[in-house]
Amino acid sequence: MNGFVEKIIARKHLVLLIVAVAAVAASYGVVKIPFFTSRKAILPRDADVSKRLDRFLEKFGADSDLIVVAEGGDPRHLESFTKELASRLRRLPTVRQAMERVDIDFFLRHAYLLVPAKRLGQFESVLRKLIEVPGEKSPSSWSEGLKRVEAWLETPPPLSLVDIDIRTAEGGLRLALFFLEEWIRWLEAKDLPDRIDWQRMVAKYGEGARLAAGGGYFRSRDGRMYFVFVRPRDPSSEFGAVAPFVEAVRREANALASQFRNSGRGEIKVGLTGLPEITYEEFRALQRDIKLTVTTAAAFILLLVLLVLRSVKWALIVFLPMGLGVLLNTGLTLLTVGHLTMITSAFTAILFGMGVDYGIFLSTRIMEELEGNDSLERAVVTAVGKSAGAVLTAGGATVLIFGLLTTVPFSGFSELGLVAASGVALVLACTFLLQPILFVIFKPTPTYRKRVPAPAAVRRTGAMKIGRASSVALSVVAAAAAAAGVYAGMK
């Protein structure tokens, strides 16, 4: 290590030039690296759940709708507002579908498709039993046919042998009653009806009653809020696709609410919810928080170093290699992972707190070496050589632990392990590469009193030695535990 430090000090200008070029390249990577907000970005690519989600998106589009919530004013105005808003949203290029209500007639005309095959079979058996009108020959006239039906109604055939449960029988009777009532309505109506009043049947039962009473519009139980479900054309949940969609819907909703207010149709309040809106707000908050966290962490660490070391030069010697390591790691992430996620982006602030330890330890050791050495370069070389083993062991253990995370199948953790391991390794490399050069350039002076050496007796009693056999045994146990952990993780 001493020879390495002597060489980099002798070629300090070349080393600084290489570092500057690397920093410029890394800065370009920081600007270009994409930030993935999608939850798919942290899922394993080959997992069954990811494949199922991909198939779902390919067939149905987005995995969630944006929900526009309108409240305030008369319910009639809210109905017209949601109807007009849905019509406007359907014309937007970023919108695939907008729904403000359920077409109850369409639903009921196709409701039989939702009935289980077993229920249909039971209903069929009942009908076949009921249509067994007595008589071997067909009636010769309507009068004779009606008499047969009348006789059949007075003495109907037994249904005890029909395979039907009480619930199905009850539903069949309700349906028969509805058609009889509808028949009477048609007979008594002055103007001939043009269709069957399906909503009247739905309005008698549970949730259907509320849905029919509201004309099929999506609304809250108390009727104060109305909803429009909007599906994006682009199924991606990345911010680049979600932002234009959410912003376009918000502009249309606010513009229409303003028109209603100006025309005297009530003060309608509009809000957005749903997964697209959550993704949109999460990314904006995350961008703001990450910038604030990273900036605050760097500023507080620099301030703390200044307060403790009481030297601007010394603080820069500690901070610059660490900052360069963080910058290079972000650029390297573009080459290795290719993107940042909500998990890996948060590690930047953590890396500041972890990386400063190595700089403080190494710089303090160099300052201590300067107390008994007249040559600055010799003190730097000696201090780095003596402390390299301890610092590299501590940093190497951290790199190894984070590196083990790359073996887990969960992409969020494996990418975090790669980013964290490379980050710690780069901060370590920058500390050993740059700090000796910065010491020679800045020439800081110690800002604390010289230490008073401890008595020999104290030094002897504080020392603790571990025998070779014990060291080997502990190393074997640690290696076996690490191997077992790796095997369990891979399995």
* Alpha helices (H) along 192-346: 198-202, 206-213, 239-262, 275-309, 312-336
Same-domain check for residues 95 and 229: yes
Same-domain check for residues 80 and 222: yes
**Token pair in block for residue 22:** 């690397």
35: DSSP letter: B
Residues ≥6 apart with Cβ < 8 Å to 419 = 329, 333, 336, 337, 344, 347
**Token pair in block for residue 124:** 């069929």
Mean pLDDT of 366-374: 78
Q: How far is Cα 78 from Cα 265, in angstroms, rounded to an integer?
A: 9
Number of domains the chain is built from: 3
Query: Quick one: pLDDT at residue 257?
Result: 93
pLDDT beyond 70 at 130:
no
In contact, 36 and 339? CB cutoff 8 Å: yes
In contact, 382 and 436? CB cutoff 8 Å: no
Which of helix, strand or coil describes residue 263? coil
Please provide the average confidence, as pLDDT, over all residues in the chain: 79
Same-domain check for residues 96 and 111: no
For 214-271, write each residue's pLDDT tens digit. 677 888 888 889 999 999 988 877 778 888 999 999 999 999 999 998 988 888 999 9
Boundary residue ending a domain (173, 189, 205): 189
pTM of the model: 0.59
Mean pLDDT of 41-51: 70
In contact, 67 and 226? CB cutoff 8 Å: no
Boundary residue ending a domain (144, 173, 189): 189
**Residue 176 included in any domain:** yes
**Residue 298 included in any domain:** no
> DSSP per residue over 165-233, as a string?
-HHHHHHHHHHHHHHHHHHHHHHH-SS--SS--HHHHHTTSHHHHHHHHTTTB-B-TTS-EEEEEEEES
pLDDT beyond 90 at 46:
no
Same-domain check for residues 260 and 397: no
Q: How far is Cα 271 from Cα 250, in angstroms, rounded to an integer?
A: 8
Same-domain check for residues 334 and 432: yes
pLDDT beyond 70 at 177:
yes
Mean pLDDT of 437-450: 72
Nearest to 241 by CA among 254, 232, 250: 232
Mean pLDDT of 170-179: 77
Query: Quick one: pLDDT at residue 454?
Result: 45
Q: How far is Cα 325 from Cα 351, in angstroms, rounded to an integer?
A: 9
Query: Quick one: pLDDT at residue 414?
Result: 85
Same-domain check for residues 85 and 143: no
**Residue 334 included in any domain:** yes
**Residue 247 included in any domain:** yes
Same-domain check for residues 251 and 381: no
Same-domain check for residues 90 and 172: no
**Residue 194 included in any domain:** no
For 287-332, write each residue's pLDDT tens digit. 777 777 777 777 777 777 777 767 778 888 888 888 899 889 988 9
Same-domain check for residues 321 and 257: no
The residue ranking higher by pLDDT, 94 or 376, is 94
Q: How far is Cα 4 from Cα 385, in angstroms, rounded to an integer?
A: 9
Same-domain check for residues 34 and 127: no
Burial annotation 465-483 (CB, 10 A radius, 16+ → b, else e): eeeeeeeeeeeeeeeeeee
**Residue 206 included in any domain:** no
pLDDT beyond 90 at 339:
no
**Residue 484 included in any domain:** yes
For 456-468, write each residue's pLDDT tens digit. 444 444 444 556 6
**Percent of the chain at pLDDT exceeding 70:** 78
The residue ranking higher by pLDDT, 58 or 274, is 274
Q: How far is Cα 274 from Cα 3, in angstroms, rounded to an integer?
A: 62
**Residue 256 included in any domain:** yes
Residue 378 belongs to a domain with what CATH number? 1.20.1640.10
Mean pLDDT of 75-87: 91
Q: Is 39 exposed, middle or buried (0-12, 13-18, 19+ CB in 10 A)?
A: middle
Residue 70 belongs to a domain with what CATH number? 3.30.70.100
Boundary residue ending a domain (143, 173, 189): 189
Same-domain check for residues 258 and 373: no
Q: How far is Cα 482 from Cα 403, in angstroms, rounded to an integer?
A: 12
Query: Quick one: pLDDT at residue 252?
Result: 94
Mean pLDDT of 463-479: 63
In contact, 229 and 67? CB cutoff 8 Å: yes
Same-domain check for residues 320 and 433: yes
**Percent of the chain at pLDDT exceeding 90:** 15
pLDDT beyond 80 at 352:
no
pLDDT beyond 90 at 159:
no
The residue ranking higher by pLDDT, 364 or 202, is 364
Structural domain including 336 reads 2-47+310-451+467-490
Query: Quick one: pLDDT at residue 480?
Result: 72
